[in-house]
């Protein structure tokens, strides 16, 4: 079984990257299931119902999200109706939406997708380590194929989560920094790991945002309205091969395609 995980889709260039390439990648690489982080799909700020639908149609099976999840207000009500749109599981009890779900693939496999957020340099949230423990406890009799999107800033927290879950899930893949890391590996107990899948969005930008706006913000410390840059895209993703019987990852490979 083969799963594609796509890094944070940012703005129009990110969506174009998916629309232009996903169908081809799915066929060419024989992908069974596609997970994508969609927290910046709508002009860098959240996702809309319409954009989500367009991207499901293009071949994305599930969206994970992150700190930008509520940027578009309509998501607050939409998320409860759409199982294919997850938000981090360690948000407070009562938060709209769900942090994990088990999906059935066309080949009949049950794939759990878990979305969880880091806390270091981020929001004040529940412990991500304990949260994943609770989820694994709940789903342990249902499937062994488990993909975790750990949306976090600090490399220490992300790498620690990788080791913490090694052997208990199929893959732990980081998102949020919008820069792909080169440390993909299969950990000793069989989990695939990468600190950050990267960004699928405008390549000539500051992590998706128009470059001069960010530089000005940093140098003047004055407010700038951040907009998703328009530029040729990059598509960042990982392909993970899974032994469906054991849920063990066999291989993880990075994709860093340019327009």
- The interface partner of residue 57, options being Fe ion, its own copies, none and the CB cut-off 5 to 8 Å by kind, is none
Contact by Cβ (8 Å): 227, 210: yes
Q: Which helix (H) or strand (E) holds 63?
A: strand 62-64
CB of 50 to Fe ion, least distance (A): 19
Contact by Cβ (8 Å): 200, 236: yes
Q: Is 109 annotated as a binding residue?
A: no
- Return the ∠ at Cα 195 (arms to 191 and 200), rounded to 5°: 110
Query: Is 200 among the residues that bind Fe ion (CB under 5 A)?
Result: no
Closest to 9 (Cα-Cα) out of 35, 46, 38, 50: 38
Largest Cα separation within the chain, whole Å, is 55
Query: Is 14 among the residues that bind Fe ion (CB under 5 A)?
Result: no
Residues that bind its own copies (CB under 8 A): 70-71, 76, 91-95, 119-121, 123-127, 129-130, 153-157, 159-160, 163-164, 177-183, 188, 195-196, 198, 204, 206-207, 209, 211, 214-215, 218-223, 254, 256
Q: Assess whether 212 carries a catalytic annotation.
A: no
Query: Is 45 among the residues that bind Fe ion (CB under 5 A)?
Result: no
Active-site residue among 68, 101, 109, 212?
Answer: 68
Contact by Cβ (8 Å): 22, 48: no
Q: Which residues bind Fe ion (CB under 5 A)?
A: 8, 39-40, 66-67, 176
As annotated, the binding site for Fe cation includes 8, 39-40, 67, 151, 176, 178
As annotated, the active-site residues are 68
């Amino acid at each position: 079984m083969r799963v594609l995980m796509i890094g944070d889709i940012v703005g129009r260039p990110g969506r174009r990257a998916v629309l232009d390439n996903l169908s081809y990648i799915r066929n060419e690489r024989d992908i069974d299931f596609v997970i994508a982080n969609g927290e910046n799909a709508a002009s860098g700020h959240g996702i809309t119902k319409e954009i989500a639908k367009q991207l499901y149609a293009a071949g994305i099976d599930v969206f994970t999200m992150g700190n930008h999840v509520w940027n578009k207000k309509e998501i607050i009500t939409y998320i409860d109706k759409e199982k294919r749109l997850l938000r981090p599981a360690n948000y407070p009890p009562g938060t709209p939406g769900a942090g994990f779900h088990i999906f059935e693939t066309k080949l009949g496999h049950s794939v759990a997708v878990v979305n969880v957020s880091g806390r270091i340099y981020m929001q004040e949230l529940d412990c991500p380590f304990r949260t994943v423990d609770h989820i694994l406890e709940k789903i342990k009799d249902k499937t062994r194929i488990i993909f975790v999107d750990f949306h976090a800033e600090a490399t220490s927290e992300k790498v620690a989560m990788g080791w913490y879950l090694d052997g208990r899930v199929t893959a732990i893949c980081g998102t949020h920094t919008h820069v792909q890391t080169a440390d993909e590996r299969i950990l000793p107990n069989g989990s695939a790991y990468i600190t950050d899948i990267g960004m699928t969005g405008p390549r000539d930008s500051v992590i998706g945002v128009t470059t001069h706006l960010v530089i000005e913000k940093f140098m003047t410390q004055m407010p700038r309205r951040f907009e998703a840059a328009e530029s040729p895209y990059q598509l960042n993703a990982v392909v993970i091969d899974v032994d469906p019987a054991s849920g063990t990852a066999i291989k993880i490979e990075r994709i860093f395609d340019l327009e």
